Every structure is written in C-alpha cells, then in structure tokens.
Amino acid sequence: MEHMNRQGTAGTKVLAFDVFGTVVDWHKSVVQEVRSMNLDVDGNQFALAWRAGYMPAIRKVMSGELDWTSIDDLHRMILDDLLQVFRLTHLTEKERRSLNGVWHRLDPWPDSVEGLTRLKSRYTICTLSNGNIGLLSNMAKHASLPWDCILSAEVFRKYKPDPAVYLGVARIFDIEPDEVMMVAAHQDDLAHARECGLRTAYIERPMEYGPLQQKDISLNADNTLHARDLRELADLLSC
C-alpha cells in the first residue's frame, strides 16, 4: 500500500491536514443532526446535497463572483437554498442557525484522535482547511482534536486549491515546501499540494459519503504515502 519509502519522508517537519472527510465524518454527523431535529427528509440525501453545494460556492469566491465569504456563510447560503428544495421553509431563524452550526460539531473518525496524538509526538500537526478559524476551533474542542496550530484558508484569504494556501504553510512555519506533508482523503487536494512542492499522504476514508455511496479509494500517484487511516499513517511514519 505504501507508495513512498520512509527515506522519502525524511526531513518532513509539519503535517498539514485536510479536515472535512479526512479527520472528521461530516456525512454521519449531518445525518444525525437532521434526525435529531426530526426533519421529515432523507438525512443521507440532505447531507450529500449540502456537501455538493460546497465546491460551486468556493468557485464563486475564487472567480470573484462573490467577495471573500467564510465557509460558515457559504454553508448558510447553500442551506437556505436546500430548505427550499426539501420543503423545510418552516424552520425558524434559530433552528437554521443551529442546523448550520452542525459543521462546528462534526465527530472524528474512530482513529483520528489516537492517530493525531501519535503523529503530534514527532511532527507539528496543523489543519489546512477551507473551514474558517472559528469553525475549526469549535470542531477541535468538540472532537478533542489535538492540533498544534489551526491554519485556515481564511488566513490567506484564498481557498484551496489556490497555491497560496499550500505554500502558506511553509511560509508560516519558515520552512521549505518539501518539509510540509499534506494529508488528505481527496486526491485532487493532494495533486495540487504536490504541484506546490509539498509531500503528500493519502488516507482512504471509503465511508466519507456514507454507507450507500461507493468511493474509489485506489491511489495511482507516486511519491505519496497511502494509509487506511491515521493510525496506519502513524505506523508508516514510525510514531
């Protein structure tokens, strides 16, 4: 499974993590929230539709169609549209705000806290997410995620996959790009990181979109670590 030998990881100082899907289980968390609110909709379809609006919203910011807008606000824009589609327009503003806040309360994958804690013993570990700082901080508190540092696209006022985000990690820590390893469950994220000179590690997460959706977890990229989960990544990195 390993696509990079351990010698290829020598010199790595910082592990920068994608968060949604890689470290936390957004699908299951959103489905549970929908059920807890007794909304008369298919929680699986609602969660998938909410997430599906994410990249189109990001592209509107990247293209300049929207001014800089936080993920919290983008999530709310998507949610308001979904409530029309799913005929849930009766929700009060308080209920809408609470539902939108579910992204602050996502639960970790079962291996995440142990894996991150082990990796933290040897490396500096940080987020590198499009989520805004407040969201990521609340999520870390909720899920007991032991980050050394929370880095967000908000810091750089650019969203991934803009190179400024990936290169920003090296700039923040005053190290070279190849001393940073991007860890993600999304191959496009890793491909953009490699283009910027970062090392990469792929985490499978076959259940990211729930038990009813298949996810291709194969990896064809060279010079990329390939691990089933964060515990195995810690094993590969001798933590």
Are the beta carbons of 222 and 3 closer than 8 angstroms?
A: yes
Class of domain 6-25+106-236: alpha beta
**CATH superfamily label, 27-104:** Putative phosphatase; domain 2 (1.10.150.240)
Band of the pLDDT at 58, cuts 50, 70, 90?
very high
Fold agreement (6-25+106-236, 27-104): no
pLDDT digits (tens, 9 = 90+) for 2-36: 665 554 688 999 999 999 999 999 999 999 999 99
* Residues with Cβ within 8 Å of residue 14, at least 6 apart in sequence: 123, 124, 125, 126, 169, 173, 175, 179, 180, 181
Domain ranges across the chain: 6-25+106-236, 27-104
pLDDT digits (tens, 9 = 90+) for 193-237: 999 999 999 999 999 999 999 898 988 777 899 999 999 999 999
Q: Supply the pTM of this predicted model.
A: 0.95
Q: Say whether the peptide bond before residue 56 is cis (omega within 30 degrees of 0).
A: no
